[in-house]
Amino acid sequence: MTLVAGGATGVNCLKTGTVIKSLYIKNYALIDELEVSFGIGLNILTGQTGAGKSIIIGALNAVLGERADTETVREGTSKAVVEAVIGTEGEPDPVVSRLLDEQGVENDGSEIILRREIRPAGSRAFINDTPVTISVLREVGDRLVDLHGQHDHQLLLKQDHHREVIDALPGVSARKKSYYEAYQTVVRLRKERDALVRQERELSEKMELHRFQLRELEAADLDEEAYQEMEAEMKRLDHAEDLDQKAALIGEMGSEGERNLMDLLGMIEDALGDMAEMDDEFRSYTGELRSARLSFQELLSHTERYRARIEFNPERLEELRQKQAEIRRLEKKYGRLLPDLIRYRSELQASVNLAENFDLELEKKEKELAAATKVLQQKAKDLHDERGKSGAALGSQISGALKNLGIPNNRFETRVMWRHEASGWFDVDGKPVACHSDGPDEVVFYISTNKGESPKPLARIASGGEISRVMLAMKSVIAREQHLPVMIFDEIDTGIGGAVAEQVGRTMHDLAEHCQIIAITHQPQIAGQADHHFRVEKQESGERTVTYIRKLDEEAHIRQIASLMSGADVSDHAVAGAREMVQKARNRRKTG
């Protein structure tokens, strides 16, 4: 059965942009085909035991990247498909944005579509129709949806996330930023110091060779411009005899002998002059010929002067050839042409200078590093203290919320402990402290839910009911301080009833002002707080059993609550009580 649920009953104003808009399931366990649209605020799912509520949660787990059992593929079909459309308008989650960018997934910022296809031989994952690995699907799912029930998708049960919770508090975030800037400075200076030390070691091993190479290249007196001039001089010396003969020939043909070129040009010029007197057509040529005759005269004068400068010097030519041969030998030896040889000589000079002044450079860097580490130590202490102070305040608020949720004898602590490692950057109380980008501390939530018990790490809580209520209490407090993903509670009402169940429902509804909540419950006090109420049912269709879900209208909502109060036989008295419960919840919203 396909169903699209819409509408709302007294929906409040949601402050986060992350919501599960719709969930589509096909061929998954008892589900033939099902589609449901969730609303903002508090979405409640109810139904008889075995109706298939856990199947829907299992499908959600699958589309969020958790292990998918291939046996969930509906018998007689080739694959199961689960698809969740998640609205992400508002401030984007930076981790999700980074993951999508890294995977090349297109994202318009308004919604993300997660899809899981499960086959008997395995499964495939997609985000916005782009294939991704299951681990990427899980990582994105962890950021978008926080599912409670079987220790799945519970960021607050992951110790690494505890630090993020504390650091999102206003008093801590500014300290964290200041610390991180100091940390980055120390990291940079440590890298520069370590690079100097490595360079010193490498240079000390090569220094004898570098000094030899530098002396050899300096002795060659390398100069690119001088080399070009040397090649030009060699060319002139090498062709001195030819140059002299050609220059003599030009002089002889130009101005010597009875019929030289200058005399011929003079005769032509006279003839042109006479012709120009008789016809203006030749007048322009007389000027051009006169200019050519003057240019030729200048050439003859230059050639005569050039012959006087021609040098016949075999000794100088041999000297230059030897210098050229030396440069070519160096080019071949070092595998570099002259310009690169000159640059390499400069590099060698800098290397030798650095080696000779390394102690001073290293001392200077060590002083910079020591000063920066001192600043970091103070910033680390400030962050450590603020984390402890804000963590204690947060713990006190969470403890108070837990009392209202039926755990009166609880103790909730935020323990902020220096991260002691042998490779620490500075000492606190005589022990080395290691600084990381996330700070100098380990932050762990501890809790005791029973009188007389010592607090233990939050991740060790065993009771499903307690876990859900602890998470609800924590999130109801931190929702005021930071962005929360969609939250899903699977039977949060385990082991509670009466006034405690009513307070749980109220707390869930208050939290739904900050994030979308989808909750499975058997308690009428919780269902009565719903903004949207869905009933999960199963029925026989032919030879098959099918699970489906439908959204309840106002009257069906009240009758379902009455059924939770009185059982299968719903009396008029139970309906009246349910109506009163719903109205009471609505009146509280209006006044509160």
What CA–CA distance (Å, rounded) separates 128 from 372?
46
Place of tokens 């041999």: 318
Helices 240-255 and 224-238 cross at an angle (nearest 10°) of 60
**Structural domain spans, the chain:** 1-153+486-496+516-553, 230-327
Nearest CA to 528 out of 558, 492, 494 is that of: 558
DSSP for 509-561, please give it.
Answer: HHHTTTS-EEEE---HHHHTT-SEEEEEEEEEETTEEEEEEEE--HHHHHHHH
What CA–CA distance (Å, rounded) separates 581 from 499?
12
CB-CB contact of 240 with 310 (8 Å): yes
By the 10 Å C-beta count (0-12 exposed, 13-18 middle, 19+ buried), 173 is classed as: middle
What pLDDT does residue 11 have?
41
What CA–CA distance (Å, rounded) separates 526 from 45?
10
What pLDDT does residue 504 have?
86
What pLDDT does residue 483 have?
67
How does pLDDT run across 428-474, given as a tens digit for each residue? 888 999 999 999 999 999 999 888 889 998 877 756 567 767 878 88
CB-CB contact of 521 with 495 (8 Å): no
Q: Which residues of the chain have a pLDDT value below 70?
A: 1-16, 148-156, 257-258, 462-465, 468, 480-483, 494-495, 590-592
CB-CB contact of 530 with 44 (8 Å): yes
Nearest-10 Cα torsion for 553, 558, 562, 564: 60
Amino acid residing at 381: K
What pLDDT does residue 270 have?
82
Structure tokens that stand for 278 in this block: 């008789």
What pLDDT does residue 86 have?
92
Query: How many Å separate Cα 543 from the centre of its chain?
Result: 52
How does pLDDT run across 162-176, given as a tens digit for each residue? 898 898 888 899 999
What pLDDT does residue 591 have?
65
* pTM for the predicted model, two decimal places: 0.61
Question: Regarding the domain with residue range 1-153+486-496+516-553, which homologous superfamily does it belong to in the CATH classification?
Answer: P-loop containing nucleotide triphosphate hydrolases (3.40.50.300)
Query: How many Å separate Cα 545 from the centre of its chain?
Result: 47
